[in-house]
Structure 1
Amino acid sequence: MGVPAFFRWLSRKYPAIIVSCVEEKPKECNGIKIPIDSSKPNPNEVEFDNLYLDMNGIIHPCTHPEDKPAPKNEDEMMVAIFEYIDRLFNIVRPRRLLYMAIDGVAPRAKMNQQRSRRFRASKEGVETAEEKQRIRQEILEKGGYLPPEEIKERFDSNCITPGTEFMDNLAKCLRYYIADRLNNDPGWKNLAVILSDASAPGEGEHKIMDYIRRQRAQPNHDPNTHHCLCGADADLIMLGLATHEPNFTIIREEFKPNKPKPCALCNQFGHEVKDCQGLPKEKQGEHDQFADCPPGSEQEFIFIRLCVLREYLERELTMASLPFTFDVERSIDDWVFMCFFVGNDFLPHLPSLEIREGAIDRLVNIYKNVVHKTGGYLTENGYVNLQRVQMIMLSVGEVEDNIFKKRKDDEENFRRRQKDKRKRMKREQHSMPGGQFTPQPLGRGNRGSHQPINNPRHAAFEMRMQDRQSTTPSASPNTSFTSDGSPSPAGGIKRKVEDSDSEPEPEDNIRLWEAGWKQRYYKNKFDVDVSDKNFRRKVVQSYVEGLCWVLRYYYQGCASWKWYYPFHYAPFASDFEGIADMPSDFEKGTKPFRPLEQLMGVFPAASGNFLPPTWRNLMTDPESSIIDFYPEDFAIDLNGKKYAWQGVALLPFVDERRLRAALAEVYPDLTPEEIRRNSLGGDVLFVGKQHLLHDFILEQYKSGEKEAVGLPPELCHGIQGKLARNDNPVLPDETLHSPVPMLRDLTQNSAIR
């Protein structure tokens, strides 16, 4: 979810939702590692029924990690993914179901964000490689020494997209991994495992939510089922609340600031690539990668307890003297909906609403007044009452001017404090004997001399550390926040300080704090005059459609695969006049793109090697009818932010009709293998020999029955659905060959899929 500050804000406001995970570590005996017995009771003193893995949050850090050497090849990547899943499994220890969901083809509304990310990743990857090469050459020319440069192809993380050979191989490897664990791990013996790979349409987290919704709707659903969902995206918190399941927990990595990263040139710690001077003389000849790695603990995990968050929200949202009985479930749905205004993956956030400025609390206060006045809620079962939404937006619009002015004042006050701080530090440095300077401690959050990482999760970690140590006072509720979303020093947390006197501020042509801001905004961002009311209404209508689409997506599933917001920027809250009469229906019967079609919609030309040759030519041939979809370079509008990653990538939107017309000419060129990878699939169920469902599935294969049959809920912990034979089954007593050469074949397989 596009809300980088959301988790920090949430964990600061409701600290009791966070619990550290207790993790049992493997033991060694005579040099032999003894595996953890995950069939034993959970050391966290809670027994989970179902574990859901949003796999893309596992695939990315395992294939291109930031804080350790990258795997040398694809086989090592697969093993790293297996080990990560093992670790999560041993912490959670699910007893009924493991659901592994990889992102499949996404709705168009999400593809625009994917397109922006992949174009940026490609551009940044090339620029980083060029910069490393330049610095390497400078160091060598000055007589410096660096380890020999490894000759290996740069890993293009864009391959982590449905339709590529990498994702096809990943699915094969995960099928092997599941069968291996069902055969050999006692903690898996009674488990049903569902793999939804990249061929199954939909984002991973939404495939998981669709499964939970369907099971919850069954008459024999167990309301005491304890769910655990793994993932770091903020939208998982919203989605977990949207299920209304009383026992829902999210597990994610605990962010630890100041974690040292190795220099990508010399492999030493303590500096970045741009500051690299090469290896010192005493180190020359030592080529062990990361030999100087400082001791550090393995990344830890935390639980986010949504049951506790629900209690917090109930206390905050409860309204007295209502003309009807307060319904906490409806009110939580409204809270989830209001959070869409501060950011999500499908719409840009409104200019006047920033989490760090208390936007969610502002919306909640207005919301309570609206509920009292109108006698009803904002949403119901995934549908929006636009008249009430209009009242909230216009109330925000009344104070937009003050919000923009206060934002400017806060930024100027922060810069003034930083300037005064630098002067004070210089005076202290000159006043010390010999001119030496000892930096002031940062408090509990200072884990060494490494520069603090400028990361939105940094503050959340610092706050939790303060909460855990009673000797340290809690952060003031009046903590001010900086322009990048991190608390300022006034809140007890140090921000990464650059020499901003010599660093020019990004140009801001909008100047929201000055009169005429709306005219400048529309002229600069949309190239229209503010007096063009028809255009402004068109922007607002598209945004309102987006709000309705997102809510439907969260509560019912994808309302339209082809809808998307056709602008790079959002309107103002004060523009939401007359939205109560705007239509919010979507074209029915729309279908998702096929995997290779999505690749054409989200990939830059630099990643065209993942596509068939004639398809790739459409990205590079100057005579291509869609060459304008693949600019070699593009502008990034900082849009009032300081860093490029916060800005807006100004890429052209893909015209679906033109794309399909161009692809119709190259579809006949696909090989049988490419046709297979371009097809859409579904979820695959695995069980081991000891599972009650094993013999039932085996009988379906023996009978030769091709029609789907109902899944007997009494054999599978109440899970219901339809079972169809797999064209490429895993059957008992058949050897399962390992797709990873370093791992053994399964010669005595008893699992079935």
Structure 2
Amino acid sequence: MGVPRFYRWLSERYPLINEVIEPEQIPEFDCLYLDMNGIIHHCSHGDTPDVAKPEDEVWMDIFKYISDLFTHIKPKKLLYMAVDGVAPRAKMNQQRSRRFRTALDAVEATERAVKNGDHPKSIDTFFDSNSITPGTAFMERLTVQLRFFAQKMISENPLWQGVEVVVSGPNVPGEGEHKIMDYIRATKSQPDYDPNTRHCVYGLDADLIMLSLATHEPYVALLREEVIFGPEKTDARALVRPDRLQLLHIYVLREYLALEFGEEDLERVIDDFVLFCMLVGNDFLPHLPYTGVGDGGLERLFSAYKEYREKQISSADPWLVEHGGGINWANFLQYLTVYSSSEEKFLADEVSKGHWQIGSERERILFSPYHTFFNSERRRCGGNGRGGSHMSYEYQLKTGFGYPKSPEEARLQFYKVKGECDDKAEVDELVRDYLEGLQWSYSYYYRGPPSWHWYYRHHYAPFVCTMVNDFDDFVTAGGQIKFDGGGPVTPFQQLMTVLPASSGQRLLPKIFAKLFTSSSSPVKQYYPERFDIDIDGVKVPWGGTTLINFVDEDVLFDAMNAAIAESERTGQDALTEAEKERNVNGGAHVYRYDPSVKPVTVQSTVPRYLQDLTGVTVDVKPFRHPSLPEGMEYFPHWVLPQCDLHKYK
């Protein structure tokens, strides 16, 4: 998903990075990468929202979408189709939050319809978008379809016969965009890599911009449908024109960054840029207070970095990030110290203007740790409004806080009410966890997940001023952060972690159904029907912080294993062989045209529209990303010396 409004902010600050492309003006590319989940979502929803499209129409629409993109770009060497596989736990938390929020919104919409005398459609008529999650039967069928499609196009289209086609399906662990970037990093590390390779990445996530910068490959362009933004300083959704495509040129963005921050060591500047932009939030961490893109957070972070660099002008090593992706905590502390002055001023203004207040007039707290005043009434969604261990707003009213007399007092109130920190030790833990999350996120962008099981255990980020005050102890202790590594979970484990009960009972095998609803289920608390949504400072209906409890994966996985063991013992609802296959992480495949192989017939997977393929001469083999050469610890995070930076200018 990336950072809300980041793409717009960057496009408005650096307008020449985007180019609307015409068929006769498309640059040449060697490799085309498709982050497939956006395509799947687009093609799976029918024109009538409450009626699902026939599935074979979904497949045909996906085929056409891919074919059109290929025809536009005409890659010379490679087409890489990457579907989201099992994600790291840090990403699963965000997926869980979004899916539960969507389910709750659907329930509320149904309740409103009934109240208004309407007759809502049965849930069975909808396409459940949660089907687009690894481990579902839908995604298994999608993999079969993509494999058929690859063979069909290579067999019948001469343009496809000159490229390798990789299908990395939902059974291959990793988010689609991260699988793509891992491949680019891995190939760049090989001795025979052409440093002038031109990469085109199709995808809708704003974090693709940061991931592309992090490859230090100048010839990367991001392909997406044209986006037309609404009036400035509004939160209206941008208009997307599916009939027109645009490219975001990383080469041009790099030139802008050189102009903005200086050219003496652009690659190190880019590494720092990726890090401090993470402070506005990402899919794994909440944004710092006052750093929302719409609140001018990025401008303040930019200004702080420039001021920090000026103060470090005589330093031989001023960079926030070390070679290999480790954060230089001592330098990062100095950067945060510079930034903290703007945070302190902003907070002092809020307090002095009376925007930070507790108002009992409407039985809600007006509590402002962010821009202007903070409507801290958590939206109560039925029941008693309590979500997990989080305090309801009635309890907050009883805390007895008076109006803060200083920014420090306001921060303490925030940690008590929002962060549920009862003492300094818990605030210190919040800070430590956030710093750990920064290192995890940065490592993930540059080297892949340092741990598949790490996640940020809080809903809010600490104040920078607090981090600066606690940082000395952290740096003195060596600033060491280590992760446990580990491997990905199984598809069913991810489904049980991210799906609400309404979807989980239909998309998972029957043996897990009672875990969602049975009063004796040891994990029932992880599937609340109602929970709080913090709408502080939110201007749009889809905003807010979903205050849902975090899953203890040891407890959940033990419960799943117990359910499987019980079904095997009784023979009731035991996993079928097909279900067992769905629950296994597998590998990708590469398809190549090879007239020397024995021709075969490939049965059509959409017989209503397409015939069987005869005389197919396509070589299909397992596909893995190349390993780092011996003696190399990490990929080259710089522009390779042989790269001609003026070749495609």
TM bucket normalised to smaller? 0.7 to 0.9
Please give the secondary structure, in 2, of the residue aligned with 1:335: helix
> Quick check: 1:544–1:584 contact (8 Å CA) kept in 2?
no
1:123 offset after TM fit, Å? 1.6
> Quick check: 2:300–2:342 contact (8 Å CA) kept in 1?
no
1:409 offset after TM fit, Å? 11
Please give the secondary structure, in 2, of the residue aligned with 1:616: helix
CA distance in 2, matches of 1:573, 1:224: 41
Corresponding position of 1:15: 15
Query: What stretches of structure 1 of length at least 5 have no aligned partner?
Result: 24-42, 139-147, 260-295, 320-325, 413-480, 485-505, 699-730
Give the 5 Å matches for 1:388-407.
388-404=331-347
CA distance in 1, matches of 2:39, 2:86: 18
Return the match for 2:45 from 51, 64, 71.
64
CA distance in 2, matches of 1:512, 1:299: 53
* Structure of higher CA gyration radius: 1
Stretch deviating more after TM superposition (95-104 or 509-518):
509-518
Return the match for 2:590 from 660, 685, 699.
685
Corresponding position of 2:644: none
1:625 offset after TM fit, Å? 0.8
Please give the secondary structure, in 2, of the residue aligned with 1:527: coil
Corresponding position of 1:593: 489
Alignment pair present for 1:533 and 2:429:
no
1:112 offset after TM fit, Å? 0.4
Alignment pair present for 1:621 and 2:602:
no
Give the 5 Å matches for 1:41-190.
43-64=24-45, 72-132=53-113, 135=116, 137=118, 153-190=125-162
Seen in structure 2, the aligned counterparts of structure 1 residues 398 and 665 have a Cα distance that, compared at 3 Å, is: same
Corresponding position of 2:167: 195
Spell out structure 1 runs of 4+ moving beyond 6 A. Answer: 65-70, 148-151, 407-412, 481-484, 506-514
Alignment pair present for 1:657 and 2:541:
no
Give the 5 Å matches for 1:567-586.
567-576=458-467, 577-578=471-472, 579-580=474-475, 581=477, 583-586=479-482
What percent of counterpart residues are identical? 41
> Quick check: 1:346–1:565 contact (8 Å CA) kept in 2?
yes
Return the match for 1:372 from 313, 325, 340.
313
The amino acid across from 2:288 in the alignment is L
Please give the secondary structure, in 1, of the residue aligned with 2:81: strand
1:687 offset after TM fit, Å? 1.1
Corresponding position of 1:550: 441
Corresponding position of 1:561: 452
> Quick check: 1:21–1:91 contact (8 Å CA) kept in 2?
no
Seen in structure 2, the aligned counterparts of structure 1 residues 66 and 653 have a Cα distance that, compared at 3 Å, is: farther
1:616 offset after TM fit, Å? 1.7
Seen in structure 2, the aligned counterparts of structure 1 residues 107 and 512 have a Cα distance that, compared at 3 Å, is: farther
Please give the secondary structure, in 1, of the residue aligned with 2:38: helix
CA distance in 1, matches of 2:346, 2:51: 44
Please give the secondary structure, in 1, of the residue aligned with 2:432: helix
CA distance in 1, matches of 2:279, 2:610: 48
Give the 5 Å matches for 1:294-313.
298-313=242-257
Corresponding position of 2:226: 254
Seen in structure 2, the aligned counterparts of structure 1 residues 368 and 137 have a Cα distance that, compared at 3 Å, is: same
Seen in structure 2, the aligned counterparts of structure 1 residues 93 and 152 have a Cα distance that, compared at 3 Å, is: same
CA distance in 2, matches of 1:251, 1:409: 47
The amino acid across from 1:110 in the alignment is K
Give the 5 Å matches for 1:664-703.
664-668=561-565, 669-689=574-594, 695=596, 698=597
> Quick check: 2:79–2:165 contact (8 Å CA) kept in 1?
yes
CA distance in 1, matches of 2:330, 2:6: 27
Q: How many residues align?
A: 554
Deviations 1:681-703 (A, max 9, x none): 1111011236xxxx5xx5xxxxx
CA distance in 1, matches of 2:351, 2:248: 34
CA distance in 2, matches of 1:197, 1:103: 7
Seen in structure 2, the aligned counterparts of structure 1 residues 587 and 342 have a Cα distance that, compared at 3 Å, is: closer
Corresponding position of 1:742: 609
The amino acid across from 1:555 in the alignment is Y
Seen in structure 2, the aligned counterparts of structure 1 residues 101 and 612 have a Cα distance that, compared at 3 Å, is: same
CA distance in 2, matches of 1:87, 1:624: 48
CA distance in 1, matches of 2:516, 2:71: 45
Deviations 1:278-303 (A, max 9, x none): xxxxxxxxxxxxxxxxxx97532110
Deviations 1:139-159 (A, max 9, x none): xxxxxxxxx989961111111
Seen in structure 2, the aligned counterparts of structure 1 residues 736 and 752 have a Cα distance that, compared at 3 Å, is: farther
Deviations 1:279-338 (A, max 9, x none): xxxxxxxxxxxxxxxxx975321100110000111111117xxxxxx3211111111111
Seen in structure 2, the aligned counterparts of structure 1 residues 255 and 558 have a Cα distance that, compared at 3 Å, is: same
> Quick check: 2:50–2:126 contact (8 Å CA) kept in 1?
no
What is the TM-score of this pair, normalised by structure 1? 0.69
CA distance in 2, matches of 1:584, 1:65: 51
1:512 offset after TM fit, Å? 9.2
Seen in structure 2, the aligned counterparts of structure 1 residues 629 and 212 have a Cα distance that, compared at 3 Å, is: same
CA distance in 2, matches of 1:512, 1:654: 35
The amino acid across from 2:615 in the alignment is Q
> Quick check: 2:52–2:125 contact (8 Å CA) kept in 1?
no
1:4 offset after TM fit, Å? 1.2
CA distance in 2, matches of 1:89, 1:582: 50
Seen in structure 2, the aligned counterparts of structure 1 residues 562 and 365 have a Cα distance that, compared at 3 Å, is: same
Return the match for 1:355 from 271, 293, 296.
293
Please give the secondary structure, in 2, of the residue aligned with 1:598: helix
Query: What stretches of structure 2 of length at least 5 have no aligned partner?
Result: 232-239, 356-370, 375-392, 566-573, 621-649
> Quick check: 2:8–2:229 contact (8 Å CA) kept in 1?
no
The amino acid across from 1:349 in the alignment is H
Please give the secondary structure, in 2, of the residue aligned with 1:124: helix
Corresponding position of 1:269: none
1:256 offset after TM fit, Å? 3.8
Deviations 1:398-442 (A, max 9, x none): 231322466799999xxxxxxxxxxxxxxxxxxxxxxxxxxxxxx
> Quick check: 2:51–2:127 contact (8 Å CA) kept in 1?
no
1:258 offset after TM fit, Å? 7.9
The amino acid across from 2:578 in the alignment is E
Stretch deviating more after TM superposition (168-177 or 508-517):
508-517
Deviations 1:506-564 (A, max 9, x none): 999999997432022111112234xx221111111111111111111111111010111
